[in-house]
Amino acid sequence: MLKSLSILAVLSLTLSLLLAYDAHSYLRAPIAAKKTQFEVEIERGASLTRISQQLHMAGVITQPLYFQLWARIKKQTSQLKPGEYIFNETYTPRRILDAIVAGQVKKYQITIVEGKRMQDFLAHLQAHPKITQTVTDLEQLKTKLNIPQQHLEGLFFPDTYTFAAGTTDIELLRQSYQLMQTHLASTWQTRSSEVHLKTPYEALILASIVEKETSLASERARIAGVFLARLTKGMRLQTDPTVIYGLGDEFDGNLQRKHLRQDNPYNTYVRHGLPPSPIALVSKAALAAVMQPEITGELYFVAKQDGSHYFSKTYREHTEAVRKYQLN
């Protein structure tokens, strides 16, 4: 009897050791499959059993019980993160568990372009299938982020944002808003003594105009210098982009003389000073141009056919440039 029990104990121990060795070897072995990439979406609140079954069905693991056992030994059953995961054939079950615990999910990107309007920004977010929508309009956005300004234009930073599936629009918008506040505050501290604007918000307004007036990096500081010189002299800015912005949906792509005479807060041909708000999303480059402008004594510029501008110090020179570059 004792001999039989001893044999059973040895067999049990041997079996346990074999299973332990098998599990240990399995957990350290790369995925054995013909596919080179596996995509698995783990739902929020999914249990360890459900996750291991998903991984097994997707062909990522072959021994779900070993996977569960390892997660329990590591005491990580409550640390598994939801999201979209991508694994390749080099992943071992241990590495797969580590990735899920760390939340190393698949990332997406969305690019917000400078010069666009805030409504375009919101529409771009709403069109992305991997972003969860929580904001329907700009007024709701202003309330959710507790923004004090009346207008949201220009308050958000255009950039490329990286995010995981299921990220909400308000998360990305909050990040963009905070980035712009940071950039604006830091660049304001670097402003030249020749910048006679009163507040960072005024600088943001002017930067949005510079953003719309030229796409050439070499011209930004020079155009900013022209506008700042005109403001200092009490001259109207007389810039088309502000007029176009003020027209809103009325603008059909054809700016006419009647529009330049049509009074509204954004018509800088009629009104002195800056418009009441920015007119577009502003890049760091445009902000920098306003804070460090090229003051050359030039008060005018006119667009040339190649997209650059001709700059003038006198009205007479400017009218000749208009005749040369726009009327011929």
pLDDT digits (tens, 9 = 90+) for 208-250: 999 999 889 999 999 999 999 999 999 999 999 999 999 988 8
Q: How far apart are CA 66 and CA 49, in angstroms?
A: 11
| 10 inside domain | no
Q: How much is the pLDDT for 61?
A: 86
Q: Look at residues 82, 102, 122 and tell me which one is the last residue of a structural domain.
A: 102
Range of the domain at 173: 107-185
If asked whether residues 281 and 195 sit together in one domain, one would say yes
| 270 inside domain | yes
What total number of domains does the chain contain?
3
For the segment 263-287, the average pLDDT, to the nearest whole number, is 96
If asked whether residues 139 and 91 sit together in one domain, one would say no
Give 76's Cβ-side CA count (13 Å radius): 19
Cβ proximity of 200 and 176 under 8 Å: no
Q: How far apart are CA 10 and CA 272, in angstroms?
A: 96
For the ranges 28-37, 100-109, 254-263, the one whose mean pLDDT is highest: 100-109
Q: How far apart are CA 230 and CA 300, in angstroms?
A: 9
Q: How much is the pLDDT for 34?
A: 63
Q: Which two tokens stand for residue 47?
A: 């249990």
Q: pLDDT category, 328, cuts 50, 70, 90?
A: low
Task: Assign residue 87 the CATH number of its domain.
Answer: 3.30.1490.480
Cβ count within 10 A of residue 215: 12
Average pLDDT over all residues of the chain:
88
